[in-house]
Amino acid sequence: TGTYTKLFTSHVHIFLADNMDRHHYETFEKFGNETFLLHLDNGRAFGRHSIDEPSILTPLKQCCRIRRSTLLRLRLLSGVRLSDVLRESLSRDALSAVAPLLSEAHLSALDRRLDTVLKAVDQCLDKRTDAVYDDVEDTGQSRDGKTV
């Protein structure tokens, strides 16, 4: 379940950034149950701001599984607008003094896509009671040690 939910989370990120070339990944079974995903990427994220590729969310929609830590972060970012958070973060990058790193159209696309992801998750929650994989401890830490 953990590896699959990591893969579904990855597809959410791929959809948000419209990263059409990230379609290949490897896993390392040598480490037993402690494997991880390694994505091979050609750097084509944020290519199109006006077109979304809904097929990227197919694994999430078909399997209806998402990590609780991912869902909590997505909901948090939808409340403050993901575009505002990213705009602020990018403004601290040295390259932003030369030119904007992302256009306003790309930033707006992030908010639209985040809304699409949350609607897909809501549809999953309507269909399945086990759609959310609880990877968060009661201490506010996810099982991988990250604070949520």
For residue 124, how many C-alpha atoms fall within 13 Å in the half-sphere facing its CB? 23
- Residue length of the chain: 148
Residues labelled catalytic: 21
Label the pairing between strands 66-67 and 37-40: unpaired
Sequence ranges of the domains in the chain? 2-133
**Residue list, annotated binding site:** 26, 41
0.85 exceeded by pTM: no
Per-residue pLDDT tens, the chain, 148 aa: give them.
577 788 888 889 889 998 876 555 556 666 666 666 665 666 667 888 999 999 999 999 999 999 999 999 999 999 999 999 999 999 999 988 888 889 999 999 999 999 999 999 999 999 999 999 999 876 555 445 444 4
Query: Which residues are annotated as part of the binding site for Mn(2+)?
Result: 41
Closest CA to 66 of 132, 12, 110, 123: 132
